[in-house]
Amino acid sequence: MSVKPIFFALDGKSLKEFEKQLDILKDHIYGVKVGLELFTSEGPSCVEQLKSDGWVVFLDLKLHDIPNTVGQAATSVSNIGADYLTLHISSGQEALLEAVNKKSKDLNLLGVSSALTSKAVDSSTSKIVENEFQIAKDSNLEGVICPASEIANTTNLFDLIVTPGIRLENDLRGDQKNITTPKKAIELGAKYIVMGRSIKNNPSMVINELEV
């Protein structure tokens, strides 16, 4: 069975909202993304439940705080078993290094640039991304959350590139401006992609139709 390099975004307030989709997608996609809404609603138990069910869990908290707090949070996330964790690169190198030092070896840290997928990236923001990703590399983070437009320029720094803002050809853009298709993102060099809206209402499509 071919496992597709997709994180399914659980953008909701309860795991129960996604029971049907998770049953269909199990063993067909790489993992799931738990965002701030779900985590603040259900707490660490949602990560623990997903891990118990056999899922790879990407905890998307985008930590941004003083070094000690970021480091202690990385320890806590390690203890609940998450596999990936996001933190803002703009927290500064000291905070990034503290997270690296305090996390478990099994937790992969993903740096987030201030150029989010809901923003259109121009030449100035592209430079910000480049500079921040270099800081992430120098801080020994395992990978980055990389907008579609910057994938090609990031492959020389990281193998672990996770790209959100993925849409199918006929999908509406919604609030995302920096988008691409699943196939194109992987061809450009993303290791994993994050999909939510495009597959929530039709998870079987991922198994039967989606080329990645």
Instruction: Work out whether strand 143-145 and strand 192-195 pair parallel, antiparallel, or are unpaired.
Output: unpaired
Query: Which of the pair, 184 or 126, is modelled with greater confidence?
Result: 184
State residue 210's pLDDT score.
87
Domain ranges of the chain: 4-208
HSE-up of 9 (CA within 13 Å, CB side)? 20
Burial (CB < 10 A; 0-12, 13-18, 19+), residue 122, is: exposed
Percent of the chain surpassing pLDDT 70: 92
Write down the catalytic residue from 62, 177, 184, 191.
62
- Catalytic status, residue 4: no
Residue 1, pLDDT score: 56
- Residue 124 has a pLDDT of 80
Give 178's pLDDT tier (boundaries 50, 70, 90): low
pLDDT at 174: 52
| pTM, entire model | 0.93
Q: Of the candidates 58, 116, 67, 127, which has an alpha carbon nearest to the alpha carbon of residue 91?
A: 67
Calculate mean pLDDT across residues 163-168.
87
Alpha-carbon span 32 to 39, nearest angstrom: 13
**What is the overall mean pLDDT for the chain?**
91
Q: Band of the pLDDT at 167, cuts 50, 70, 90?
A: confident
Q: What is the mean pLDDT of residues 34-39?
A: 97
- Residue pLDDT, tens place only, 87-137: 999 999 999 999 999 999 999 999 999 765 455 667 788 888 999 999 999
What's the pLDDT score for residue 27?
A: 95
Q: How far is CA 130 from the centre of its chain?
A: 18
- Residue 14: pLDDT over 60: yes
| DSSP code of residue 159 | S
CA 42/CA 188 separation, integer angstroms: 35
Give the CATH number of domain 4-208. Answer: 3.20.20.70
